[in-house]
Structure 1
Amino acid sequence: IIRLCSLPLCVMPSKSYYLNSKVEPGLQSGFSGQKRKRECSSDSEEELEDLDPEPKHPWDVETLCGLEMTLKRQRVYLVQPEHHEVFARLLEDPVVKRFLAWDKKLRVSDKYLLSMVIAYFSRAGLFSWQYQRIHFFLALYLANDMEEDNQAPKQDIFHFLYGKSHAQRPLFHKLRYQFIRSMGWNTWVSREECEEIQTYNPELWVWGRDRLKSLA
């Protein structure tokens, strides 16, 4: 039996924005029918110049043709460099390294599932130093839960961590529930985001874990 963590799982409030958050219907076309009158004094204008510009709306108008409008979704990625650093640090953990070497057929840890681990780190709201070994396995289990139709391979994670013992599984599922809640239940990760995550450090050795190539 592998001791995953000697400290309780730290759960911070989830971030208030996510990649698949709903977008308000308001649009900015970038065109105005009338010129706005200047009603502010020069002093107030100087104060306004000091303010930060408003963030761009995630939907931009790409083309206008008569009454038809074409919208283009802006890509917004919330994964920060520190999340990649946390992931790289955990790859050096001896238990994580043994697990990845043990999963030779990449049933539960191919490059896309590992990319989702980084995406989940970015959404959980923890400080970089708070991520421990247990978070890697919680995120990887959740990635398999979301993406794999066959639920049997997930049992491989339990088999590696706990052997035939079932005593620790209820605690694992309790921590998994807390981890999901810390992400605001935002567990879906697109393939596009996974590939964007991989391009941050394309030389990282785990991005060579291509399941299709391994089966060829």
Structure 2
Amino acid sequence: MASCQPSSLSEDLSPQLSSSGLIEDEEIPGPSAPWVEPNPPPESPGWKRDWLTALEEEIAAEAEDIWVVESLSGLKMKLKKQRVSSVLPEHHEVFNRLLEDPVVKKFLAWDKNLRVSDKYLLSMVIAYFSRAGLFSWQYQRIHFFIALYLASDMEEDNQAPKQAIFSFLYGKNRTQRPLFHKLRFQFVRSMGWKTRVSREECEEIQAYDPEHWVWGRDRTLIP
């Protein structure tokens, strides 16, 4: 299970522990936040090219199918495919914990038209958590926004609204954006470049707790 084996990139994608053993997580991220380098290195000239190449070589992200017996009739056996989901209860728990983060709360309240955070994009956040290979305690605010940014990349034609993520993370400070994109690249790499999430998987994720308030964020219900 991916979440049970820490990714080799977990040090890059998770906050550091303080001397007291507690996770240091500022309410409003900035240069002092544990996942922000004081002087982030510039991206290499081939970074964008490598990113596009990786996406072109991406493997479909559906979980592996298994064959199960649907019915028996004498010596005849009817089989059907059954999807095995990699999403576990702990990934839902991580998602619910991050929904309580003050910056995440403000962002969701701001996105009243659900341009960046409708129920399907939020389902993809949980799917990405299941693929990234970090321990549950390692997921922090930055991972929520990276996953949401990736989901918007994959599903949305209008890319402008997702830029609001930077405002909530960094305010007017634009110097941290290159680091965000570096972490985004590392996050995708930790998922094995599997960024596609089917509608079926999104609906399975929502069915785990169908009464959860976040699944009411449905664009089709907006006048």
TM-score by length of structure 2 reads 0.68
Count how many residue pairs are aligned between Structure 1 and Structure 2: 169
Map residues 163-178 of structure 1 onto 2, 5 A cutoff. 163-178=171-186
CA distance in 2, matches of 1:205, 1:60: 34
Superposition deviation, residue 156 in structure 1 = 2.0
- The answer to whether the Cα contact below 8 Å between 1:19 and 1:76 also exists between their aligned partners in 2 is no
Q: Does 1:157 align with 2:127?
A: no
What's the counterpart of residue 146 of structure 1? 154
Map residues 176-191 of structure 1 onto 2, 5 A cutoff. 176-191=184-199
Is the partner of 2:195 in helix, strand or coil?
coil
Q: What amino acid sits opposite 2:34 in the alignment? A: L
Q: What amino acid sits opposite 2:29 in the alignment? A: R
CA distance in 2, matches of 1:185, 1:179: 9
Superposition deviation, residue 98 in structure 1 = 0.6
Superposition deviation, residue 19 in structure 1 = 4.7
Q: What amino acid sits opposite 2:189 in the alignment? A: R
What's the counterpart of residue 90 of structure 1? 98
- The answer to whether the Cα contact below 8 Å between 1:58 and 1:73 also exists between their aligned partners in 2 is yes
What's the counterpart of residue 206 of structure 1? 214
Is the partner of 1:74 in helix, strand or coil?
strand
From the superposition, tell whether residues 92 and 172 of structure 1 become closer, same or farther in structure 2 (CA, over 3 Å).
same
What's the counterpart of residue 26 of structure 1? none
CA distance in 1, matches of 2:169, 2:213: 23
Name which of 112, 117, 136 aligns with 2:125.
117
Percent identity over the alignment is 74
- The answer to whether the Cα contact below 8 Å between 1:111 and 1:207 also exists between their aligned partners in 2 is yes
Q: What amino acid sits opposite 2:219 in the alignment? A: R
What's the counterpart of residue 194 of structure 1? 202
Q: Which has the larger radius of gyration?
A: 1
Superposition deviation, residue 18 in structure 1 = 8.3
Q: 5+ residue gaps in structure 2?
A: 1-26, 37-58, 72-77
Superposition deviation, residue 165 in structure 1 = 3.2
Q: 5+ residue gaps in structure 1?
A: 10-16, 24-56, 64-69
What's the counterpart of residue 138 of structure 2? 130
Is the partner of 1:58 in helix, strand or coil?
strand
- What is the RMSD of the two structures over their aligned residues, measured on CA atoms? 2.7
CA distance in 1, matches of 2:90, 2:130: 9
What's the counterpart of residue 8 of structure 1? 35
CA distance in 1, matches of 2:103, 2:35: 19
Q: Does 1:76 align with 2:84?
A: yes
CA distance in 2, matches of 1:125, 1:97: 25
- The answer to whether the Cα contact below 8 Å between 2:103 and 2:168 also exists between their aligned partners in 1 is no
CA distance in 2, matches of 1:8, 1:160: 16
- The answer to whether the Cα contact below 8 Å between 1:112 and 1:194 also exists between their aligned partners in 2 is yes
